[in-house]
Amino acid sequence: MNPADFDLQASISRLFVYPIKSCAGVELQESLLIETGLEFDRAWMVVDEGGEFVSQRELPRMALIRPTLRHGDMVLRAPGMLALHIAFDRVEGPVRVRVWDDEVAAYDMGDIAAQWFSDFLSEPGQPKKKLRLVRFDPEHKRLSSRKWTGEVEAPNQFADGFPILAISEASLAEFNARMAAAGHEAIAMERFRPNLVLAGIEAHDEDRVDELRIDTGEGGQVLLRPVKPCARCTIPDVDPATAQTGTAVNETLRSYRADPRLDGALTFGMNLIVLEGVEQPLRVGQTAGANLRFE
């Protein structure tokens, strides 16, 4: 890849996957790109007894559930709980569940997992929650909104709406400068839950590029298209170390990130879709070229 062919050149500085929707992420040095994003990203989800997904919005303690990915299973740890092992090759019966407006096919992960999540996420002195862990059915096709992807069919698993979220280091640095000016402590990138963290570009350049072309170093390339700014809810105000909630993150975003593209919603980071490179590896240190988009 010739840098002279692009307006901007970035590098991947960090990679994250979030195996269970709204639980802690896993930082990796390498991840396989699949049709729905990074392998194992949002492949599992916690649902209530009606099959509706739950998240840190109503259950901030989900932030304290920390997965570890191993060769054949995922190990979940949480304060005060024994480790829970989730095998990659075993599921229970098929179920139907809801994530936002989509009803999708999934597989229940069994009673032991259900008990573990129900125990940890129930509040002392409150009625016991009845929660289940489910895994996305890979035969089901859940597509990103064609309003944003146009002619491209972009499948997801349990992500909010798009396969990949990218944020630049410079965007976080600018945000933290504004936090400091308002008398707040800096926060880590983990609050914004990106998949790709990009180094070497200016703040919010990820908002302004047409495509990211990533050299995999093995004769292949990955082509990702930014399609929609990421509208922010209250989850970035949940401290991933303590599950305590605050207001400083959204207050700071409100001061400069009201986005006319989304009718004034607060945005930070860009949602990407996969155009090319399925089954290619993404690694920390890979370079990405991009041209600025002018509309």
The 10s digit of each residue's pLDDT in 153-175 is 999 999 999 999 999 999 999 99
Rounded to whole angstroms, how far apart are CA atoms 186 and 184? 7
Rounded to whole angstroms, how far apart are CA atoms 19 and 61? 16
End-to-end CA distance of the chain, in Å? 26
pLDDT band with cut points at 50, 70 and 90 for residue 2: confident
DSSP state of 57: T
Helix (H) or strand (E) holding 177: helix 169-181
CATH of 3-292, one of 1.10.10.60, 3.40.50.2300, 2.40.33.20, 3.30.420.310: 2.40.33.20
Give CA separation, 135 vs 7, 52, 147, 158, in Å: 40, 13, 27, 9
The 10s digit of each residue's pLDDT in 27-46 is 999 999 999 999 999 999 99
Q: Is 115 exposed, middle or buried (0-12, 13-18, 19+ CB in 10 A)?
A: middle
Strand partners of residue 28: 15
SS3 213: strand
What local confidence, expressed as pLDDT, does residue 295 receive? 60
Chain mean pLDDT for the chain: 96
Domain ranges of the chain: 3-292
